[in-house]
């Protein structure tokens, strides 16, 4: 059952990115590449990479049986004149979507953005990629009382 919640978390975040985050990006005045979930990557689409891990729980979370996860979402963008702007736009759009839906549609008890890191290319103009790494902290009620 534990593996199931982890899959549900990732699917809920994918749905948030493909749905509400893409809507937010589309409402802005810039042509910002949308999120895609396939092997396709171009100037008009970005494919995020997810890394889900357990994280340390607070004493309160242990007492009330909450599991805590860290989900890291990494977006790599081809270097263009607007890549830095796109990174900031993605960060803002993800934060806005999570403020509107802090439980991922009921999958989690609470999702918070615990970090955003913007990584420019090591050397500008070399065709390397910009990256944004967004870290989420997700708490979910434990299904059983086994600890």
Report pLDDT for 1.
46
What pTM, to 2 d.p., does this model score? 0.84
Q: What percent of the chain has pLDDT over 70?
A: 89
pLDDT in tens, 45-55: 788 889 999 88
70-124 pLDDT, tens digit per residue, is 999 999 888 888 889 999 999 999 999 999 999 999 999 999 999 999 999 988 7
**What pLDDT score does 143 carry?**
58
- pLDDT tens digits along 31-46: 888 888 766 655 567 8
What is the Rg, in whole angstroms, of the alpha carbon atoms belonging to the chain? 16
How many whole angstroms separate alpha carbon 24 and alpha carbon 96?
8
| Domains identified in the chain and CATH numbers | 2-141 (3.30.70)
Residues near 107 by Cβ (< 8 Å), separated by ≥ 6? 5, 8, 9, 12, 140
């Amino acid at each position: 059952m534990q593996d199931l919640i982890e899959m549900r978390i990732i699917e809920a975040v994918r749905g948030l990115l493909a749905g509400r985050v893409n809507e937010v990006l589309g409402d802005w005045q810039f042509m910002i590449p949308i999120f895609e979930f396939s092997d396709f990557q171009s100037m008009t689409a970005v494919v995020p990479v997810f890394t889900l891990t357990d994280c340390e729980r607070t004493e309160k979370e242990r007492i009330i049986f909450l599991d805590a996860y860290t989900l890291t979402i990494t977006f790599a963008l081809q270097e263009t004149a607007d890549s830095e702007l796109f990174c900031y736009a993605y960060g803002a759009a993800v934060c806005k979507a999570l403020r509107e839906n802090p439980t991922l549609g009921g999958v989690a008890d609470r999702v918070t953005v615990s970090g955003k890191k913007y990584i420019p290319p090591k050397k500008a103009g070399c065709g390397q990629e910009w990256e944004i790494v967004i870290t989420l902290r997700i708490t979910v009620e434990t299904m059983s009382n086994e600890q």
